[in-house]
Structure 1
Amino acid sequence: MATPLDDYPYHQAPMFMDQVVSSDRNFYDRYYFNGFTRDGETMIMSGFGVYPNLGVVDAFFCVRIGERQWTVRMSDAYDGARDTKVGPFRIEVVEPLQTLRIVSDTDAEGIGVDITWHGAFPVVDEAPHQWRNNGRLILDAQRFAQVGSWSGEIRVDGRTIELDPNEWTGTRDRSWGIRPVGESEPAGRWGEESDPNYGFWWTYLPFRFDDFTVVVIAQEDGAGLRTLNDAVRVWAPDHERGHELLGFPEFTYTYRSGTREVERVEVTLRDRDGSPMTMVAESLGHIALNAGPGYGGDPDWGHGQWRGRNWVSGVEVNVTDPEVVGRHAFGVNDHVGRAVLTEADGTTHEGWGLLEHGCIGAHAPSGFADFFSVAP
């Protein structure tokens, strides 16, 4: 049926705006944000998603201070309005592609929020992302990313944290399309005839430097075959170098012995004339994505799952708890990253950003033969 959005000339198909072209249950439309102090002591993360074919809208906000991590989650029925709010949580698009505000009146559940995002550089259009598993297209999405800073305040654990944009940096992205969401689908044949060499290796590195932003993305299977590759450097709009492709990145990860917990990664890139560049990023702490925020097999809640109307919940964990640590090898984790980029002429740049990595199952280039292999 017609909604207020149908009065605007935004249509891309002969359908009402509360409908989507795909009938795939996994269609989604999502915001993602993170932020952190440059010492990595405090990190925040938030997301908001609409799942029209599941009839669900949800959001979360997460804060980690030291080893303690708090998350509030909100979920409700999707009514087709396409506004950016769910229960006590809302996102205000103050200036598209530049300034956004997040408000969450959830102090009673553990976290209260009123913060504003300020983009530092233009958004970066990422390469379209497709992924097939057992021949089926399970991910078909478009995304853009941005680095920036934060202002405002967060209330958690009886304290108020003021976010100074000179001290708080972060990254965000918008994505939409198809990806696994909601309740798990029946495994069917593949539950009995799974690939013993299955592997999912993922790297996502959006970093902010003084004069430019760098975004590196790569996905590989268990044999190391790369199925997604994107590496760019974007300068300020008035800079003569504009938008640079950085070639086919090569990665060397260092994991904590006996685990798959990331300590650092060295990335070899190529500038416009083919000269080598290196970016070395180290982890300064992380948020456990599958221990509250709803990612990667979180046993408590997942994005798009139906929890009834007006559902609000809060949870606190310790990221060093063995139960939480034990999930690392089966999901993706988001780290505060400090990076040093070295140009071919030896010039160095220091930056901060998101070090997002997951290595699940086999990955031959890393020496992991199966789900239970760990670093020596």
Structure 2
Amino acid sequence: MADDRPIALDEYPVHQVPLSMKHVATGDRNAYDRCIFHVFDHRGRALLIVGLGVYPNVGVIDAYATLRTGDRLHAVRASDALTDDRMNLSVGPLRITVDVPLQRLSLHCAADPADPDSLSYDIEWTAAFPAVWEPHHVQRRGERLMLEGRRFVQAGNCSGVIRAGGDEIPVVAGEWTGTRDRSWGVRPIPGEEGGRAEAEYRPEGFHWLWIPVRFDDRFVMVIAQEDADGYRTLNEALLVRDGGPDVQLGWPRTEIEYRPGTRHPERAVVRLTAPDGRPMELTAETLCSSPLALGAGYPPATDWQHGTWQGRGWTDRRSYDMSDPAAHPAAAYGVTDHAARFTLDGQVGHGIFEHGSFGRHDPSGFTGYTSVAP
């Protein structure tokens, strides 16, 4: 083909397989490569979530930003045709710049020219600790590979400004925290025929915790994924200090206090174990919540999901009224990110308590998809 030519990245010795860097090593349509950032203040007034992803086998690049303040969730989403310039991390009004890899990144969103009071921001995200690998994530439904991802996570400081609804919110280092996750591999994109896997292997339940926490002198990462019986398929508890060896903290056991009549976590205790056997308690209090199915494009969103073709140059802005949770029933069946205050060994830290619990989960006492906390 006349247009099948090398791209700029092919100049560099970064190839892993005998293919152009334009192509991924799998023909799976669900191949992806993306990131997510969390920027939040320590008093629970604001939670900004930013993400960008490429889906090379469907030819799509997209990005989003959501801002939760009070009972309002502002959202910007953009999608376009993927080009050969994979170093250009921008879609519509949304842009991410890697200023110094693994150390400093810039997050930018331009306002709607027709609405100067719409969501916009300029944020500098600076690492406070080294990035660390998360466990290799593999999930199957029957024999069908649904998800395989390589990830790393990092915590840092943020500074800059966020604008929305006529307000300007200063982002001040020391008063705000940032976390981020990078992942790539295979992950479901809407539009694929479910086939036998969907018909015969419907999950009875899913229970997920992803908890990155930044303290002044350490970074703690906890991950747990369990099925309906409580069988754990993903597990991590790690303490990271700059310049020191990473420390494993055993098999995390989490006790969650849910808001009555919901599965919304209000407080939690994560029981950890130091290498010398000493018990440790990581406590969490959620401050500000943002369901990823609203605005951010995660399942089971009904207005837009990642990797779906929206046409060239598509941008969508909207806001959600969060005062009545019953107005957004799909959010209860998706993962929610909660900005939270944590304590560990007498220190106070801040991070994300990401949680999703749907269907049966025996350890929590949930009996099915309609089951909630008493």
TM over 0.5: yes
TM-superposed CA distance for 1:80, in Å, is 2.6
Which sections of structure 2, spanning at least 5 residues, go unmatched? Answer: none
Quote the Cα distance in structure 1 between the aligned partners of 2:247 and 2:196: 45
Q: How does 1:134-213 map to 2 (within 5 A)?
A: 134-181=142-189, 183-193=190-200, 195=202, 198-213=204-219
Equivalent residue letter for 2:29:
R
Q: Which position in structure 1 is the counterpart of 2:52?
A: 48
1:94 aligns with 2:99: yes
Which 10-residue stretch deviates more, 50-59 or 318-327? Answer: 318-327
Quote the Cα distance in structure 2 between the aligned partners of 1:85 and 1:132: 32
Q: Which position in structure 2 is the counterpart of 1:132?
A: 140
Q: 1:67 aligns with which of 55, 67, 71?
A: 71
Spell out, residue by residue over 1:278-309, the C-alpha distance to the aligned partner (whole angstroms, 9 max, x if none): 11111112012111111121111001110000
Quote the Cα distance in structure 2 between the aligned partners of 1:5 and 1:124: 25
Q: How does 1:263-282 map to 2 (within 5 A)?
A: 263-282=266-285
Which sections of structure 1, spanning at least 5 residues, go unmatched? Answer: 343-347
Spell out, residue by residue over 1:127-162, the C-alpha distance to the aligned partner (whole angstroms, 9 max, x if none): 111111223221110111111111111221112222
Quote the Cα distance in structure 2 between the aligned partners of 1:354 and 1:26: 27
Equivalent residue letter for 1:207:
V
Aligned length: 366
TM-superposed CA distance for 1:192, in Å, is 4.5
Q: Which position in structure 1 is the counterpart of 2:36?
A: 32
Which 10-residue stretch deviates more, 106-115 or 217-226? Answer: 106-115
Q: Is the 8 A contact 1:329 1:371 kept in 2?
A: no
Q: Is the 8 A contact 1:288 1:324 kept in 2?
A: no
Secondary structure of the 1:6 match is: helix
Equivalent residue letter for 2:31:
F
Q: Which position in structure 1 is the counterpart of 2:24?
A: 20
Q: Which position in structure 2 is the counterpart of 1:289?
A: 292
TM-superposed CA distance for 1:81, in Å, is 1.8
Quote the Cα distance in structure 2 between the aligned partners of 1:253 and 1:290: 22
TM-superposed CA distance for 1:191, in Å, is 4.9
TM-superposed CA distance for 1:187, in Å, is 2.9
Residue identity over aligned pairs, in percent, reads 45
Q: 2:358 aligns with which of 360, 363, 367?
A: 360
Spell out, residue by residue over 1:155-186, the C-alpha distance to the aligned partner (whole angstroms, 9 max, x if none): 211122221112111211111111112x2322
Quote the Cα distance in structure 2 between the aligned partners of 1:134 and 1:319: 37
Q: Which position in structure 2 is the counterpart of 1:345?
A: none
RMSD between superposed Cα atoms in Å: 1.4
Secondary structure of the 1:258 match is: coil
Equivalent residue letter for 1:32:
I
TM-superposed CA distance for 1:324, in Å, is 4.5
Which 10-residue stretch deviates more, 88-97 or 43-52? Answer: 88-97
Equivalent residue letter for 1:106:
A
1:229 aligns with 2:235: yes
Q: Is the 8 A contact 1:52 1:80 kept in 2?
A: no
Q: Is the 8 A contact 1:170 1:354 kept in 2?
A: no
Q: Is the 8 A contact 2:61 2:82 kept in 1?
A: yes
TM-score, normalised by the number of residues in structure 2: 0.95
Quote the Cα distance in structure 2 between the aligned partners of 1:88 and 1:41: 24
Q: 1:311 aligns with which of 314, 337, 342?
A: 314
Equivalent residue letter for 1:64:
R
Q: Is the 8 A contact 1:125 1:143 kept in 2?
A: yes
Q: Which position in structure 2 is the counterpart of 1:114?
A: 122
TM-superposed CA distance for 1:322, in Å, is 3.7
Quote the Cα distance in structure 2 between the aligned partners of 1:135 and 1:324: 37
TM-superposed CA distance for 1:312, in Å, is 0.5
TM-superposed CA distance for 1:74, in Å, is 0.6
Secondary structure of the 2:110 match is: strand
Q: Which position in structure 2 is the counterpart of 1:337?
A: 340
Quote the Cα distance in structure 2 between the aligned partners of 1:281 and 1:184: 37
Q: Is the 8 A contact 2:239 2:248 kept in 1?
A: yes
Secondary structure of the 1:327 match is: helix
Secondary structure of the 2:10 match is: helix
TM-score, normalised by the number of residues in structure 1: 0.94
Q: Is the 8 A contact 2:42 2:350 kept in 1?
A: yes
Equivalent residue letter for 1:222:
A
